[in-house]
Amino acid sequence: MSALTTAVSRQRYSHPLMAFVLRRLAIGVLLVFLVSILVFGATQVLPGDAASAILGRSATEAQKEIYRQELGLDRSIPSQYWSWISGVVQGDLGKSLASGEPVTSFISQRIGNSLILALVTMIVLVPISLALGVWAGIRRDRTADHLISSLSLGLIALPEFVIGTLLIASLAVSLGLLPPTSIIEFGQSPLTSPSLLVLPVLTLCLTAAAYIIRMMRAGVVETLNADYVHMARMNGVRERRVIWNHALRNSLAPTVQVLALTMQYLIGGLVIVETVFAYPGLGQGLVQAVTARDIPTVQGVAILLAAIYIFINIIADLLVVLLVPKLRTSL
Amino acid sequence: MTEPVLRVDGLRVGVEHGPVIVEEAAFTVRPGEVLGLVGESGSGKTTVAQALLGYTKPGLAIVSGSVNVAGQDIVGTDEKRLRGMRGRLISYVPQDPATSLNPSLRIGDQVREMLKAHDQDACPDERVQEILERVQLPGDSSFQRRFPHQLSGGQQQRLAIAVAVACEPPVIVLDEPTTGLDVVTQARILEEIARLQREISIALVYVSHDLAVVASIASRIAVMYAGRIVEDGPCEPVVTGPRHPYTLGLISSVPDHVVPRRLVGIPGVAVGVGNRPRGCAFAPRCSQAVPACEESIPDLVRIEEGHLVRCIRWQRTPVPQVDPRQEITRQLAAAPLLTVSELRAEYRTRSGPVVAAEGVSLTVAPGECVALVGESGSGKTTIARCIVCLHQPTAGQITLEGKDLPGLARRRSQDERRSIQIVFQNPYDSLNPRRSVEDAVSWPARSLRGLSEREANAEVAALLERVRLPERMARRFPGELSGGERQRVAIARALAAGPSLLVCDEVTSALDVSVQAAVLDLLADLRRKLDLAVLFITHDLGVVASIADRVLVLEKGLVCEQGTVGAILTAPQSDYTKRLVAAAPSLSIDGDGPRPVEAFGDPR
Amino acid sequence: MRWVRPWSTRIALGVLLFVLGIAFIGPYFAPYSTSALAGIPYSTPSGTFLLGNDYLGEDVLSRVLSGGRSVILFGALATVLAYLVGGAVGLVAGYSRTRLDSGLMRGMDILLAFPPILFLLLVATGAGANLVALVIAIAIIHVPSIARIVRTAAAETSVRGYVEAAVARGDRTRMILRREILPNIWGPIMADAGPRFTVSILLVAAVSFLGLGKAPPAADWALMISENRSGITINAWAVVVPALMIAALTVSINVIADSIAHSLGKSVDTEALRR
């Protein structure tokens, strides 16, 4: 991995933390670059003729040929990749095959909706599931723990679209409490009609909470078993302090990792949940683009989501280093 | 005489709704006294140590009995008041400071937390500094801002002691406080504890598996076996004239570099917590047991002022005999079996290569036992690994019977591979848990001597007998064996190849001392019977004294001294060896003054 | 068979057998052809159509009886494929612990830096609704984490005394892997296999739900949910029954996997359940 990273690490930065950040960022850029090859390869190199898929079976061979030229599908693969990636670097993701609009405007129309959905989900999800996970860990093998653990074991195995569908069937259709779909006009903020957000948020929370709860419980159980926790109790430290200063303080780094994984999960979860509720976000747009084989749109959205995914990792790594004295001091 | 500050009576600790682990523990400790609590693994000594603070590991509970510190009852007190007593009346120093110190708390805060827990909210840096300096740690604020992982093992243990003494409790429990440390560091920590104890006249309970260490610090010794105290008395009489046969066995097992001797060991295996017999738990392993021993558990009887023994036949327990170590007489070999010359070995790490051994040269004659001694990180294990192809040396030459040995196993001939066999330190991973003993022991004969499965299996019984294991063991799996039994199977597996050199990498250091003695005795026996050469890697000078002919002392990858075992242990030349010899614990209390070289025999 | 003892596991086993029975024996008991337009779209349950009709008027019961097999088979296929590849990579990497190891693991890192569902969507864009490609893609998603688990287990095992003794004896590598290492890494693999099978099923179902798997008129539980969603207010059975079938399948597998893992002294590796 290296010319780029070693070049960065060889330079002597006065601040070791700065050097670490730069090194991680360089690796991140490299990863995004490698991922771009993957994105390009999967969409454009795999067998499957985009032209006939888009134009339909009735199109003549001549029509398809013109279309392929338009798309640049007749050029060599490296040159296709080169023209695509050089556009990406300059912020030009190409034009949508379906609408003819630039992919960037497709993204900017929808990304706000997705971000709002993700943000509201995190705000509801994180405090509740962290608390439940920690509680189950502290009350290990008691009734509360058994209840929380078995519920989360069941929930974690349920697909989002099953949870979403069952929620629609019960809360929206049978009881009529909430709207069954979350259709919003572009340009309108989803926050103006919060009732539309309830079911998507609930669906995402139920699946992601199970994951956070199980990971947190395992982490807390482990730290509560650590020698230093026993030692603190034998030193007569107050139980509240034992839990906060010893057990939870040392669970912080794993928590950050769990939260990063949760955010990464949400990227995939949004794709499905937005589709289930017809919520006009990036995920739903991506699925539509895939169905229509709108290659430039799929590529643009994919590289953006992958970059976000990698960026979350970098932030989490950095936080972990800052939170764990042993890692921090060995920089 | 002052009143005892710690009184323990009828203490019983068990698994919640399960078997009892510790039964009828009773003793008292006066201010200024050090009680050494000695026992092998599974004896219940740590359970007792923690119960003194009213604490048990999760899943255990104090069933009955009383613990009284400075007039206040610990057992039966509610959790809230108990919390206030722990640390203030009685505190605890754990075995492994590396895991017992919170990795996220700064040094100063580790001490401060103890003070705050006991309502000493005013804890300025100066107070913390004073406490740290009490255990010879620098107390300045830059040190206080460090984290535990930035300290050495010895410093971490000092810090743990500093935390324990912070609130100046009248009683401190030390649970194996030097077990993970090198001998030199161990000696310093022991000195430190003794000094503190003199200065502030506290009562100490010192828990350890190492009788020699305990004898060096304790004024009284209580020996535990299978959850009960079997002997309790002043240090001197217990060590020189033990009355319980288990204590005697223990003392006869402790290797000693001052007075080298044949180690005897105790036959059999300690009973597990669930399977304790109705009568004396030691009876099945005891040579002087009579049927009455198996009928009921003997009482702890007083045989002299302050000397108690739990044995109905204590009067028949013999006085400890010091058998001189058995010398193995043999022909002086013309040529060495193994030579290592100018060996250099490195480890690759992120920050470049680290030299593990440099310019190491040694020879092992046929039938000879050469010991490689050093502390952790001295490179002794790396040298052993180079000899058996588990590590590629960077430079140097290894020859077997004058022929050059390649560094890679697949470049060595089958006969060369057969001739050198290795036994490892950890008995719990030296055998494949999925293979029966028969399978494990017969395999080398198949792969290295070309025997058929039937021929190889036919040899298993004889090999097991050679390592003093019954034939029925062949059908067992490693999970059903004790540590000592596994190590014997590992030796049998090595013997199956028919080696002329056995490399033993710390083979006894994970074993209890009574089991270690038996394994060492077995190795001496094998050398005699099979004319087997042994390269013995160890950190323990006592073990060296009882088994080796010649010794190489390693310091940081370099051979700093070598010679016959007698010369090295009685008249060390290099500073490092001198320090090592001086720091090694020994049961021979009056062992000062020059020791006779003859005790080691004349190896050549 | 200690793992079957808890009552929750017994119930889960019962549920799983029931679902598997429906998926594999059910098709022979379907009263109608899965693609026969037998009734009025979205009509509610009646004596002739026990679960009513779907958006085209097909019999929901017949389609439920026939719609489980593919999801289970494709999920199993992807999982097995993933273990073959990931297991081999992990074993080689973990045992060799050389440059090969770090090279393989860096390669795996790249695959881990990608949201699984996004990867499936990309493959669907490139290869179309091609089930073989999707099964391979799901297998690829699992490969990095399986490789890691196997690598960790193999690396841990290969420093044990019995393996080092074999290396020092000069035993052949193939022999060491077969005799000493493989038998000792089944534990982590067993603890991991259950939840991973769950995830494979979830991904197959998600792809079908998004309309990128089996094409209509094929009967498929996930596809049924997406086809009949718009009629949920008229005949909810056409959506709820397939949803419940998928839920019963994945939850029961997960509960059983958890208790197998517990009996092996491990807890289910939640990492494997990452989506």
Q: What is the mean pLDDT of residues B218-239?
A: 93
Residue B148: per-residue pLDDT: 93
> Does position B316 have pLDDT exceeding 80, yes or no?
yes
- Identify the pLDDT of residue A156: 86
Identify all chain B residues contacting C182, using CB atoms and an 8 Å cutoff. none
Whether B328 contacts B604, CB under 8 Å: no
Mean pLDDT to the nearest integer, A184-200: 82
The number of C-beta contacts closer than 8 angstroms across A and C is: 163
- Distance CA(B36)–CA(B39), nearest Å, equals 10
Q: Which of C160, C165, C183 lies nearest to residue B422, judging by beta carbons?
A: C165
CA distance C110 to chain A (A): 7
Amino acid B339: pLDDT: 94
**Cβ distance of C165 and B424 shorter than 8 Å:** yes
B307 touches chain C (CB under 8 A): no
Amino acid identity of B73? Answer: D
Strand partners, B363: B339
Is the preceding peptide bond at C217 cis, omega within 30 degrees of 0? yes
**B309 near B522, Cβ under 8 Å?**
no
Which chain B positions have a beta carbon within 8 Å of C175's beta carbon? 447
CA distance B583 to B580: 5
Name the B residues in 198-217 with CB < 8 Å from any C CB: none
What are C135-149's pLDDT values in tens digits?
999 999 898 888 888
The confidence score (pLDDT) of residue A4 equals: 44
- Looking at residue B326, its pLDDT comes to 67
**C52 CB within 8 Å of a chain A CB:** no
Supply the pLDDT for residue B331.
59
Does position B322 have pLDDT exceeding 60, yes or no?
A: yes
- How far off is chain A from B53, nearest CA to CA, in Å? 7
Contact status of A157 with chain C (Cβ, < 8 Å)? yes
pLDDT band with cut points at 50, 70 and 90 for residue B604: very low
pTM: 0.87
pLDDT at B543 (0 to 100): 92
**Of A45, A114, A145, A153, which to mutate for an interface test with C (greatest number of C Cβ within 10 Å)?**
A153
Mean pLDDT of A93-98: 81
Q: How many CA atoms lie within 13 A of B205 on its CB side?
A: 32
Residue of A236, A246, A249 with shortest CB distance to B86: A236
Q: Which residues of B touch A234 (CB under 8 A)?
A: 50, 53, 55, 86-87, 91-92
State whether residue A89 sits within 8 Å of chain C by CB: no
Yes or no, beta carbons of B389 and C183 under 8 Å apart: no
Q: Please tell me which residue of chain C has the smallest CA distance to B386.
A: C168
Average pLDDT for chain B: 89
Q: Which helix (H) or strand (E) holds B262?
A: none
B190/C contact by beta carbon, under 8 A = no
Whether the predicted pLDDT of B385 surpasses 80 = yes
Determine contact, residues B505/B537, Cβ cutoff 8 Å.
Answer: yes
Q: Tell me what the mean pLDDT of segment B1-25 comes to.
A: 90
- What pLDDT, on the 0 to 100 scale, is given for residue C6? 75
Residue C259, strand partner residues: none
Which pair of tokens denotes residue C131?
């089930």
pLDDT category at A55 given cuts 50, 70, 90 is low
Nearest CA to A230 out of B106, B88, B101 is that of B101
Is B456 an 8 Å CB contact of chain C? no
Tell me, yes or no, if B180 comes closer than 8 A to chain A by beta carbon. no
Report the chain A residue with the minimal C-alpha distance to residue B100: A228
In Å, how far is C178's CA from the nearest CA of chain A?
A: 33
* Identity of the residue numbered B198: R
Under 8 Å between Cβ of C77 and C138: no
C174 touches chain A (CB under 8 A): no
Q: Count of B–C CB contacts within 8 Å?
A: 62
Phi, psi of B599 (to 5 degrees): -55, -25
Nearest CA in chain C to B389: C168
Q: How far is C185 from chain B (nearest CA, A)?
A: 11
pLDDT in tens, B81-137: 999 999 999 999 998 888 999 999 999 999 999 998 887 677 788 889 999 998 889
Please give the average per-residue pLDDT across A122-132, as a whole number.
94
pLDDT of residue C187: 80
B84 touches chain A (CB under 8 A): yes
Judged by a CB distance cut-off of 8 A, whether residue C243 touches chain A is: yes
A-chain residues near C211 (CB < 8 A): 291
Give the whole-number percent of chain B exceeding pLDDT 90. 58
- Asked if the C-beta of B72 comes within 8 angstroms of chain A's C-beta atoms, the answer is no
Contact C128 A180 (CB under 8 A): no
- Nearest-CA distance C81 → chain B (Å): 27
By DSSP bridging, strand B34-38 and strand B220-225 are parallel
- Per-residue model confidence (pLDDT) at position A183: 80
Q: Is the pLDDT of residue C202 over 50?
A: yes
The chains in contact with chain A, meaning 3 or more Cβ pairs closer than 8 Å, are B, C
pLDDT of res. B430: 92
Distance of residue B183 Cα from the nearest chain A Cα, in angstroms: 24
- Asked if residue B144 has pLDDT above 90, the reply is yes
Q: Give start and end residues of each alpha helix (H) in B407-482.
A: 414-419, 437-449, 453-466
Confidence of residue A54 (pLDDT cuts 50, 70, 90): low
Q: Which residues pair with B224 in a beta bridge?
A: B229
Report percent pLDDT > 70 for chain A. 90
Query: Inter-axis angle of helices B437-449 and B453-466, to 10 degrees?
Result: 120
Q: Which of A37-46, B191-200, B432-441, C21-30 is predicted most confidently?
A: B432-441
Contact B582, B544 (CB under 8 A): no
Predicted confidence at residue B163, as pLDDT, reads 94
The alpha carbon of residue A317 is apart from the nearest alpha carbon of chain B, in Å, by 17
Q: How far apart, in Å, do the first and last CA atoms of chain C sit? A: 30
Residues in chain B closer than 8 A to A228 (CB atoms) = 99-103
- Contact between residue A255 and residue B126 where contact means Cβ atoms under 8 Å apart: no
pLDDT mean across residues, chain A: 84
Residue of chain B minimizing CA distance to A252:
B104
A126 and C CB contact within 8 Å = no
CA distance, residue C108 to nearest chain A CA (Å): 12
Touching C: which chains, 3+ CB pairs < 8 A? Answer: A, B
Closest-CA residue of C relative to B434 is C183
* Band of residue A58 on the pLDDT scale cut at 50, 70, 90: low
Across the interface, which of A41, A162, A310 has its CB nearest the CB of C247? Answer: A162
C99-124 pLDDT, tens per residue?
Answer: 667 777 777 777 777 788 888 888 88
DSSP assignment of C141-156, as one string?
A: HHHHHHHHHHHHHHHH
The answer for residues whose C-beta is within 8 angstroms of residue B95's C-beta and 6 or more apart is: B46, B175, B176, B177, B179, B180
> Which residues, other chains included, contact B279 with Cβ-Cβ below 8 Å and sequence gap of 6+?
B293, B294, B295, B296, B297
At A180 the pLDDT is 80
The predicted pLDDT at position A6 comes to 44
Neighbours of C38 (CB within 10 A): 16
Contact in structure between A321 and A331 (CB atoms under 8 Å): yes
- The answer, yes or no, to whether residue A46 has pLDDT greater than 70, is no
Residue C274 predicted with pLDDT over 60 = no
Of chain C residues 178-197, which have a CB less than 8 A from chain A?
A: 195
In whole angstroms, give the CA distance from residue A276 to residue A182.
9
Question: Which residues from A are below 8 Å from C202, CB to CB?
Answer: 157, 159
Of C8, C232, C275, the CB nearest to A265: C275
Instruction: Establish if C102 touches chain A: CB-CB under 8 angstroms.
Output: no
**Taking 80 as the threshold, does the pLDDT of residue B150 lie above it?**
yes
Q: What is the pLDDT of residues A201-235, one digit of tens each?
A: 999 999 899 889 988 998 899 899 899 999 999 99
pLDDT, position B596:
44
Q: Is the pLDDT of residue A121 over 80?
A: yes
Partner A contacted by C220 (CB < 8 A): no
Give chain A positions within 8 Å (CB) of B57: 230
